[in-house]
Amino acid sequence: MFEIRHSDLAGRIGKLETPHGVVETPAFVPVVHPVKQTVSTQFLKKMGFELVITNAYITLRHYGDEARKRGIHDIIGFDGSVMTDSGGYQVLEYGSVDVEPADMAQFEKDIRSDIPIPLDKPTGYGLEYEMAKQYVETTLKNSKETLQVVGETDAIWVGPVQGAEHSDLVEHSAKELDSMGFQLMALGSPVELMEAYEFATLARMIAAAKKVIPAKPVHLFGAGHPLTIPLAVALGCDMFDSASYMLYAKDGRYMTPNATMRLDELTYLPCQCDICSTHSAQELKGLEMDERIIAIAKHNLHVLKAEVDSVKQSILDGRLWEYVMQKARAHPKLMEAARLFADLEMLEAGTPAFKEKAVYLYEPIDQHRPEAKRYRKIVSQYKSQKRRLVLCPETDLHPFYSTRSFRETLKRNPDAQICSYNPFLGIIPAEISDIFPAAHNIVTRSAYFSNDYPTFVQSLKSFVANNNFEEVVIVTSDAFIEGAAREAGISVRIVGQHEQL
Ligand SMILES: [Zn+2]
């Protein structure tokens, strides 16, 4: 049902098979109104959206038995895959809906939804713990009942994970749904988190769920901001639905890859989609209201689609870390979320052991990328038989053992363990200086400060502790390595480049 083709960090490119076709993930899933949709589903299909989501509760209220006869694909005029929300959003907005979970489940089955969602009770954001816990339990009960009602089915029923900012509830929720047998999980209602730019809370919520369900596909409800897409994908979300393209358009908000702007404030249109290449900002503003809303909505969809495609390409290139960190500069709160990546062990499993392209290393956060952690782990197992450690600065040429500086140092001192070093990767023994990414990285050449690189200090300290060196020699004076040695409590001798060791 779900097959992973490529991965980087916890992000992956996959194929999700539904009764109405195969959906490539990560996928943005546009919300379609079952009654008053203004951007046609044919247009969405033509743009390349293979999956849309619509509301089964509104469909039930508006069409009733007619929807059972015609099926949801005919009702919304879309022959691709259709996901149906059950009314959870209405619960969030109005407190409750007048339908039982079992009836809703039967209805979603009857209208032949490909990816139906049980009637859940979203926790939203800011709900106090006890109340959130009750909502989680209600959702779990409804979900269990739903599975009993629908029995054997081709549809992919969604396990709605609730709990929001209460990580232990999120974990509990995911664990229970996983054991009930749900094959696709959806993370509850981050809309309010995103409106408050609480990206770090969102990241923690996703991480809590992924810890329990690392392999199964995960959908993120209501994530329709181009800024959050790279973050969510890197953390392991495979799909995200949103009505933002339309809601923002109604509000006169024009999406760009790094922000949303008010159309009123734009003099230029920084986009080349069909709408923007045929209208000036002035012309777009001058359109009659309904027409203008549809035009902005189409543009917004274009931006969202392009964002997902950029993220996918970054996964293929092995540059998702670089992409997320670059994106994080669009908003300080996004940077706050990206910084959490430093401590997330879950980013390692999906990161390839070898990448065709070099990793780019810029600033302290990059010492925590999975490739760097992995390399330091390898070095921490390294056993040297030598009694003297010689540390040489890195050159632009890789691997270190192929450089002149290494050969000369070796000639002068054949009995030493010769290593180079890199602030991001730690100690690099010449013998394993060709292991990825020691020979496959490009660093910004500038002054580094050892107190910004605690992983480096640790790497030096444990390398010395794990071996039996009687002396540590530093070739050419360098404030970074001298500072690191001081912090690691290691006494060193410093010699010049051509000095006799
Ligand atoms: Zn555009």
Q: Which DSSP letter does residue 158 get?
A: E
- Separation between Cα atoms, residue 234 and residue 207, nearest integer Å: 10
Adjacency order of strands within the sheet including 471-475: 426-429, 416-422, 388-393, 471-475, 493-495
The Å distance, Cα 302 to ligand 1 centre, comes to: 7
- Give the DSSP H/E element, type plus range, for residue 142: helix 129-150
Query: Which amino acid is it at 204?
Result: R
Percent of the chain exceeding pLDDT 70 equals: 97
Please write the tens of the pLDDT for every residue from 459-474.
999 999 999 999 999 9
**How far is CA 442 from each of CA 199, 362, 481, rounded to the nearest angstrom?**
29, 9, 19
The Å distance, Cα 224 to ligand 1 centre, comes to: 16
Residue with tokens 């912090």: 487
The Å distance, Cα 246 to ligand 1 centre, comes to: 14
Three-state DSSP class for residue 344: coil
The Å distance, Cα 270 to ligand 1 centre, comes to: 7
Three-state DSSP class for residue 138: helix
| E strands present in 106-194 | 115-116, 158-161, 184-187
* pTM for this predicted structure: 0.94
Q: For residue 66, name the pLDDT band (cuts at 50, 70, 90).
A: very high
**How far is CA 61 from each of CA 77, 92, 95, 98, rounded to the nearest angstrom?**
18, 18, 17, 10
pLDDT at 97 over 90: no
Q: For residue 135, name the pLDDT band (cuts at 50, 70, 90).
A: very high
The Å distance, Cα 4 to ligand 1 centre, comes to: 31
| E strands present in 50-157 | 51-55, 81-85, 115-116
The Å distance, Cα 291 to ligand 1 centre, comes to: 15
The Å distance, Cα 31 to ligand 1 centre, comes to: 19
Q: What is the pLDDT of residue 445?
A: 86
User: Do β-strands 218-220 and 184-187 pair in parallel, antiparallel, or remain unpaired?
Assistant: parallel
**How far is CA 247 from each of CA 25, 30, 250, 251, rounded to the nearest angstrom?**
24, 12, 5, 6
Of the ranges 28-42, 77-91, 112-126, 187-201, the best mean pLDDT one: 28-42
- Separation between Cα atoms, residue 140 and residue 17, nearest integer Å: 25
CB distance 421 to 427 below 8 Å: yes
Q: Which of 319, 422, 423 is nearest to 6 (CA)?
A: 319
Mean per-residue pLDDT over the chain, rounded: 94
Q: Which CATH superfamily is domain 2-40+49-247+320-347 in?
A: Queuine tRNA-ribosyltransferase-like (3.20.20.105)
Topology of 359-495 in CATH?
Rossmann fold (3.40.50)
User: Mean per-residue pLDDT for 268-276?
Assistant: 97
For residue 454, the Cα-to-chain-centroid distance in whole angstroms is: 26
Please write the tens of the pLDDT for every residue from 206-246.
999 999 999 999 999 988 888 899 999 999 999 999 999 99
Catalytic machinery residues: 85
Helices (H), 273-366: 281-286, 289-317, 320-327, 332-339
Domain ranges in the chain? 2-40+49-247+320-347, 359-495
Q: Which of 392, 386, 387 is nearest to 494 (CA)?
A: 392
